[in-house]
Structure 1
Amino acid sequence: MSWFRALLPSAGPQSMLTLITVAAAVSSGIYLSTVVLYFTRIVRISPMQVGAGLSVAGVACVVSNILVGRISDRRGPLGVLRASLFVGAVATVGFLAVDGFAMYLIVIPAAAAAQACVQLLISAMIPRVVTSRANEFRAYIRSVLNVGIAIGIGLAAVAVQWDSALVYRVAIIIAAGFLTAAVPLVAGLPVMGPAAATAEYHGDRWIALRDRPYLALTALDGVLSLQYRIQSVAIPLWIIGATAAPRWSIAAIDMVNIAIVVGFQVRASRRVVDATAAGVALRRSGWVFLIACVLLATAHGRGGWVVVLILGVGAAVLSVGELWQTAGGFEASNALAPPQDLGLYLGVFGIGLRMADAVGPALLTWLCISLGVIGWYVTGFILLAAGLLAPVVIRRVASTRDRYALVPAL
């Protein structure tokens, strides 16, 4: 394990936060890769019911992120992180007890919401654990998250290949075990009280939900986050339905994305040190996403190594855009949130990604698959428009911070 320890930050709390991230990410990778097949093939829940449950889980993620973010701000994040890890582990083990749709509707939202809350709390704790260059550590955590998810997906691939009830259940137990193992690691983090521990605050307790400039930024990030669904939904369907590319190219493209994000996320984030730089990064990502969409559109009707090359380059360009979008979104969401309400604001900011998860698959299937080449162009220009608007919206958010920051009570 010496090679793994070499990847960890030298500081104790940072190493502990990294290990918690890895554990949660491996569990998430197993969850993402097995949940649909396990419940449809083994438990025999209909695909429509599985999809409905995942939609409910998406709503649960949004609501729980907002509530947990606020609780973290007012009571401190460590207890909430322990509870989220524990609930996630129990809900994941609960998969084994599901024998119908009703039980499924209980455990899936609980597991998904717990996973989302763990990621939120890790993001909210980074500024309190890292005293300098927090943006680089956020990028490092993003890379670690991708590595962990890739490991989880690899473990889940064994279950998918065997397609056996026993192997699926072993994978589920492993996923729960990683979350359980992370619970005692929380004790290695420094004590963190409420974010507003030095003063009592008055005003709107849910001010983030009424902070219209910040909500506009959240919406723009949600539009840009459609790029994740391009990677996971539009490209595989495009390869199968509109090109003669070999099926293995789908997995190869996923590996290209993981390699680029893991290898270059920290480097891409080094100059994104304030809200202004975040706006530049988001604008740059919009242009890159447009280029990627145009490249991917040119794969239509092609075959052989030419189409593999086009798809590979297009996916690589898309991944570069992801680097800048992630760096810009991380920095803007943190820098423009009042410190005493950081958890709540990050929970609200996460709504953009959750909406992209909910709307993206259907929207991109219609645009990129049903409309074809022209739909790829439309998608690219939608992402470009969001990127171009980002610096304008960020300036607006920055100019209104005095209005939305809570004032210490006298």
Structure 2
Amino acid sequence: MTAWLPEGAARRLLAAATLLTMLGYGIYLTAGVLYLTQGLHLPAAEVGLGMSAAGAVSLAAGVPIGHLADRLGARGVYSVTLLLGGLAMAGLCLSRAFWPFLLCATVSAVAQSAGPAARGPLVAKYGGERPAEFRSYLRAVTNLGIAVGALVAAWAVERDTQDAYVLVIAASAVSYGIGAVTAALMPSVPPRLARPGPRWIALRDRPYVALTVLDGLMAVQYRVLTVAVPLWLLERTTAPRWSVSAVMLLNTAIVVCLQVRASRRIDSVPAGAAAFRRAGFAFLLSCVAVSLVSGAPGWLVLVVLLAAVAVHTFGEMWQAAGGFELSFALAPDDAVGQYQGLFGMGLGLGITIGPSVLIALCIDLGRPGWWIVGIGFALTGLAVPPTARWAQRELEHRAVPQPGVVEPQPSPGV
């Protein structure tokens, strides 16, 4: 895989579908709330409640959608999830009340949550010997798409009219639709036959569930730069307001440019677990640094802040790359989608609880709260290596044929 363009038609189509989808999602992330509150004049409390409810419903979608991708074929299921995202955006353009908005927001959240699970078998199939590295490439593409979508949405935010908001949300729907068509052009991945035994094997895999929980706790860090840092800067420091945008720009630029490189040596279960450990200490260091800028001169705040954001972003890339490696390496070949769906639930849970946890600790409690959060990240990172070793032992045990158990054979033509 080259620095900017992956090798092979299948990889390029998957990368293009990801870019188009994330462009549409970036528009929705940036302009969605303002469209609903400023354009449609829905109460902010209703919008917040609706998005929280939609997010809660979406947490349960990953495992069943991933299972469908395993059993029915990942290409078709993935394309359907992107199409559902486009339909949700189109529905938002027509919504004028709370209940239609709630329906569209829920469909959008389910599509966004289930998409990576349905995509998992495609990544495993076309990612070559290092599917986790290709997944890191797709994460860089994801950040790029969201950034471009945010720039498109900024046009509507600047004009602040209902027509402008409707236009960019419609553009989001079109972007999702083109992404769905692009994904449908990929070569198909044959369905995998299920092993004898329980259907929801991922939920019964205790060490993998434990890893999912640990990744979810660590995923609270994704809200540090989007929730805790902006509030801390505006309420407790003399930093200029534009520094909030600088934080996101620096984070996005580092991820887009360095995510693939950061994942190249994370090519085994021990390396993936070690990446989590490094990430935990990086988050601890960045949290302590941000906590110390309260009351400092403006220029010093900016210097320390940008350094802390860089350290945090490297931790973010290590966690992401480690998660990609562990989530693929510790999943059985015949249930990649189901396992990816489960692992994605951890990410969704962390992002969902992150704002309330970080506001309660970092903002309400102040400097000690930042230290508590940082120590929590470090302890979580330290817990991953022994849990990963446990999961690897369980996977190796299940791979050994048991007496009296006949392995399923593929049917002719599959």
TM-score above 0.5, yes or no: yes
Q: Percent same amino acid among aligned pairs?
A: 38
The corresponding residue for 2:412 is: none
Tell me the CA shift for residue 184 of structure 1: 2.2
TM-superposed CA distance for 1:193, in Å, is: 1.2
Q: Which of 313, 318, 323 is equivalent to 1:319?
A: 313
Q: Which residue of 2 aligns with 1:230?
A: 224
The reply to whether residue 86 of structure 1 matches residue 80 of structure 2 is no
Secondary structure (helix, strand or coil) at the match of 1:284 reads helix
Q: Are positions 1:259 and 2:253 aligned together?
A: yes
Q: Any idea what the Cα deviations from partners look like across 1:176-204, whole Å, max 9, x if unmatched?
A: 011111222124311211133xxx52111
Equivalent in the alignment of 1:351: 345
One-letter code aligned to 2:30: S
Question: 2:139 corresponds to which residue?
Answer: 142
- 1:288 alignment partner, SS class: helix
**C-alpha distance in 1, partners of 2:365/2:227?**
15
State the 1:409 CA deviation: 4.7
1:59 pairs with 56, 61, 70, which one? 56
Moved more, 146-155 or 62-71: 62-71
Query: Does the 8 Å CA contact 2:70/2:121 hold for their aligned counterparts?
Result: no
1:274 aligns to what?
268
Secondary structure of 1:240's aligned partner = helix
Provide, for residues 47-77 of structure 1, a one-character-per-residue CA deviation record: whole Å limited to 9, x for no partner: 1111111112212222221111010011111
Rounded to whole Å, the distance in 2 between the matches of 1:393 and 1:245 is 41
- Residues of 1 paired with 2:380 and 2:14: CA distance? 32
Q: Shift in Å at residue 121 of structure 1?
A: 2.5
Match for residue 235 of structure 2 among 225, 237, 241: 241
Equivalent residue in structure 1 for 2:115, among 100, 118, 124: 118
What whole-Å deviation, never above 9, does each CA across 1:272-330 have from its counterpart, x for those lacking one?
Answer: 11111100100010111100001111111223211111111111110010110001011
> Which of residues 280, 287, 297 in structure 2 aligns to 1:286?
280
Partner SS for 1:302:
coil
Q: Which amino acid aligns with 1:353?
A: L
3-state SS of 1:321 partner:
helix
Report which stretch shifted further, 300-309 or 243-252: 300-309
- Give the whole-Å Cα distance in 1 for the aligned partners of 2:164 and 2:5: 31
Normalising by structure 2, report the TM-score: 0.94
Structure 1: segments with no counterpart, 5+ residues? none
CA-to-partner distance for each residue in 1:25-55, whole Å, 9 max, x for gaps?
A: 1011011111111111111221111111111
Q: Tell me which of 157, 161, 182 is aligned to 1:160.
A: 157
Preserved CA contact (<8 Å) 1:201 1:409 = yes
Alignment-derived partner of residue 5 in structure 2: 8
Alignment length (residue pairs):
403
Shift of 1:101: 1.2
1:219 aligns with 2:216: no
Cα distance in 2 for partners of 1:27, 1:115 equals 11
Secondary structure of the corresponding residue to residue 60 of structure 2: helix
Change (3 A) 1:10 1:402: closer
- Is residue 211–residue 404 contact of structure 1 (8 Å, CA) maintained in 2? no
> Hey, what's the Cα distance between the residues in 1 that align with 2:4 and 2:164?
31
2:360 is aligned to: 366
The equivalent position to 1:386 in structure 2, one of 345, 357, 380, is 380
Contact residue 63 and residue 117 of structure 2 kept, 8 A:
no
- C-alpha distance in 2, partners of 1:10/1:82? 21
Alpha-carbon distance in 1 for matches of 2:238, 2:287 = 18
Q: Does 1:204 align with 2:187?
A: no
Task: Point out the more displaced range, 37-46 or 290-299.
Answer: 37-46
Equivalent-residue separation in structure 2 for 1:123 and 1:71 (angstroms): 12
- Where in structure 2 are there 5+ consecutive unaligned residues? 410-414
Contact map agreement 1:245 1:302 (CA 8 A) in 2: no
1:243 and 1:195 map into 2 onto residues whose CA distance is: 55
Report the more deviating stretch, 155-164 or 182-191: 182-191
> Over the residues paired in the alignment, what is the CA RMSD in angstroms?
1.6
Aligned residue number for residue 108 of structure 1: 105
